[in-house]
């Protein structure tokens, strides 16, 4: 009965004017418009889920999402919420669009017209959602690859540095380690290896992550994934700094083994046993204390040339010796005493010469004494 009435009205409208016919077509296509709207809402929902998966993957890699993609997701989500609510409310509204045996044509036209408006908007959103680029990298140039001449100032470190670079060039070695006491300069050496290896084009990508005594596996996984996410088939050097115990490389996402010849791993640790036995490092390099003149050179650089003055030179030399050739101690003490009076220097020397009560393994007492200053 409803369809017959509507058809008659439509035929009459056609004879009047196209604009009137279009208005009545909303009534004629009422059911079809709502069905099409519901279908488009469901399709848009699926495309939103797919886009959100791509966005989440990009964010895990440390990339920034393009603003137009963010705007599209916001608009698309809003459109689906409105569309689902409108379709859901239609059944209720439809019940009130009849009075007696005749439909409320005005109500049906209004609802159908709104359905078409939302339908057109969603179709356009789906067309606009075909992006050439979803995200872009925001990872700045790694600070560890920036110029750092700390190792180049010391002959002993340069020798070890060149040996490590030579080992990295060896196709039969994919894991090697740097070993030495805390404060000896393992991290500085590892960063210099990274810089040189990158500059010499030994690797396409260098990844650096600190492990620490209580490793945060998720943090390490994130740092590794950020850099390795889109770099398959490249030559990669992964540096894991400050290893204390066995670390499962597969768990943290490092491609390693006979099937991953393009990836090499450089570890630093205080314990040679951790490197050779627990991590199966193929070649290890032990880093010792700086030679006396190397230590003095670093000390002067940090404290200032005024330590060469006749009144201060002797006590400054003695203070530098008490740092035991540990770069971390030398830097800490020299900076603490920079521009200090002769009395402060002498008092600090007394403190450094006191017996240490520390029993920490793999850390020289000089490192703790330096911190106390």
What is the predicted pLDDT for the residue at 272? 92
What is the predicted pLDDT for the residue at 122? 94
Q: pLDDT band for position 143 (50/70/90)?
A: very low
DSSP 140: P
Question: Among 15-24, 49-58, 62-71, which is the least confidently predicted range?
Answer: 15-24
What is the predicted pLDDT for the residue at 368? 42
Average pLDDT in the 127-149 region? 65
Rounded distance between C-alpha atoms, residue 165 and residue 202, angstroms? 9
Q: pLDDT band for position 93 (50/70/90)?
A: low
Average pLDDT in the 231-246 region? 79
Number of H-type helices and E-type strands within the chain: 14, 9
Rounded distance between C-alpha atoms, residue 299 and residue 250, angstroms? 42
Q: Bigger pLDDT: 227 or 16?
A: 227
Strands, E, within 154-262: which ranges?
175-179, 205-210, 236-243
β pairing state of 98-99 and 102-103: antiparallel
Question: Among 15-19, 124-128, 261-265, which is the least confidently predicted range?
Answer: 15-19
Strands, E, within 51-182: which ranges?
63-65, 98-99, 102-103, 135-137, 175-179
Single out the residue of 201, 179, 362 nearest to residue 288, CA to CA. Answer: 179
pTM: 0.55
* % the chain with pLDDT above 90: 23
90: tokens are 């239609």
List Cβ neighbours of 174 (8 Å cut-off, separation of 6 or more).
256, 257, 260, 261, 263, 264, 265, 282
208: tokens are 């650096």
Q: pLDDT band for position 210 (50/70/90)?
A: confident
Q: pLDDT band for position 77 (50/70/90)?
A: very high
Q: Is 360's pLDDT higher than 90?
A: no
Q: Bigger pLDDT: 300 or 224?
A: 300
pLDDT digits (tens, 9 = 90+) for 6-36: 554 555 555 455 555 566 677 788 889 889 9
Q: Is 303's pLDDT higher than 80?
A: yes
Average pLDDT in the 357-362 region? 43
Host H or E run for residue 266: strand 263-269
Rounded distance between C-alpha atoms, residue 87 and residue 193, angstroms? 63
Judged on CB neighbours under 10 Å (0-12, 13-18, 19+), 357 is: exposed
């Amino acid at each position: 009965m409803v369809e017959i009435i509507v058809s008659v009205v439509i035929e009459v409208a056609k004879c009047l004017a196209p604009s009137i016919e279009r208005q009545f077509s909303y009534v004629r296509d009422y059911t079809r418009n709502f069905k099409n709207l519901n279908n488009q809402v469901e399709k848009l929902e699926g495309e939103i889920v797919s886009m959100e998966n791509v966005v989440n993957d990009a964010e895990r890699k440390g990339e920034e999402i393009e603003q137009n993609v963010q705007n599209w997701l916001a608009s698309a989500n809003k459109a689906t919420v409105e569309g689902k609510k409108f379709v859901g409310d239609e059944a209720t509204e439809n019940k009130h669009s009849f009075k007696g045996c005749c439909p409320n044509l005005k109500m049906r036209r209004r609802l159908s017209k709104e359905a078409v408006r939302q339908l057109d908007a969603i179709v356009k959103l789906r067309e606009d959602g075909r992006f050439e680029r979803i995200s872009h990298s925001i990872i700045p140039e790694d600070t560890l690859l920036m110029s750092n001449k700390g190792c180049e100032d010391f002959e002993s470190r340069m020798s070890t540095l060149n040996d490590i670079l030579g080992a990295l060039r060896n196709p039969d070695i994919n894991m090697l380690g740097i070993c030495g006491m805390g404060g000896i300069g393992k991290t500085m050496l590892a960063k210099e290896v990274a810089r040189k290896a990158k500059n010499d084009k030994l690797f396409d990508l260098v990844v650096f992550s600190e492990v620490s005594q209580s490793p945060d596996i998720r943090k390490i996984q994130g740092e590794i994934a950020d850099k390795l996410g889109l770099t398959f088939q490249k030559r990669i050097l992964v540096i894991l700094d400050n290893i204390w115990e066995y670390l499962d490389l597969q768990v943290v996402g490092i491609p390693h083994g006979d099937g991953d010849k393009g990836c090499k791993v450089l570890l630093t640790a205080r314990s040679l046993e951790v490197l050779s036995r627990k991590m199966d490092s193929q070649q290890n390099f032990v880093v010792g204390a700086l030679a006396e003149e190397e230590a003095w050179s670093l000390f002067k650089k940090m404290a200032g040339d005024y330590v060469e003055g006749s009144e201060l030179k002797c006590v400054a030399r003695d203070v530098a010796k008490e740092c035991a050739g540990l770069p971390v101690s030398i830097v800490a003490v020299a900076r603490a005493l920079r521009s200090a009076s002769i009395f402060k220097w002498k008092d600090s020397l007394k403190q450094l010469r006191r017996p240490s009560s520390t029993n920490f393994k793999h850390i020289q007492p000089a490192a703790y004494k330096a911190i106390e200053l």
